[in-house]
Amino acid sequence: SQQGEEDPQALSIQEGENATMNCSYKTSINNLQWYRQNSGRGLVHLILIRSNEREKHSGRLRVTLDTSKKSSSLLITASRAADTASYFCAIISSGSRLTFGEGTQLTVNP
């Protein structure tokens, strides 16, 4: 499959801790994107990292990209209960479509 694959499938942490999610993929990419989905809701775009970038920050989010290992990680620092959601990485597969992985279910306990 060309889609990104997230690891772990599920992650449970305490408020204030950091959460790290990983994404691996198999094809060459133009960019890799991370999305969040609250239960049963639409996906929200979090951050996009281009293939020539190694690290990107947005607020409490830090994304890294290692194209040699075909992997990316999303770090959420000082997590809050409101960060509880599913997190998906997405890559461009054939043509112009974004292909999503299975997601990581993050639970932040108060």
Partner 1 sequence: DSGVTQTPKHLITATGQRVTLRCSPRSGDLSVYWYQQSLDQGLQFLIQYYNGEERAKGNILERFSAQQFPDLHSELNLSSLELGDSALYFCASSVWGVPNYGYTFGSGTRLTVV
- Cβ proximity to partner 1, 9 vs 109, nearer residue: 9
- Cβ proximity to partner 1, 17 vs 41, nearer residue: 41
63 close to 56: Cβ distance less than 8 angstroms = yes
Pick from 3, 13, 19, 8: which is nearest to 70 by CA? 3
Q: Which amino acid is at 94?
A: S
- Cβ proximity to partner 1, 13 vs 56, nearer residue: 56
Q: Answer yes or no whether residue 40 interacts with partner 1 by CB under 8 A.
A: yes
- Which residues contact partner 1 (rule: CB under 8 A)? 30-31, 33, 35, 40-45, 48, 88, 92, 94-103
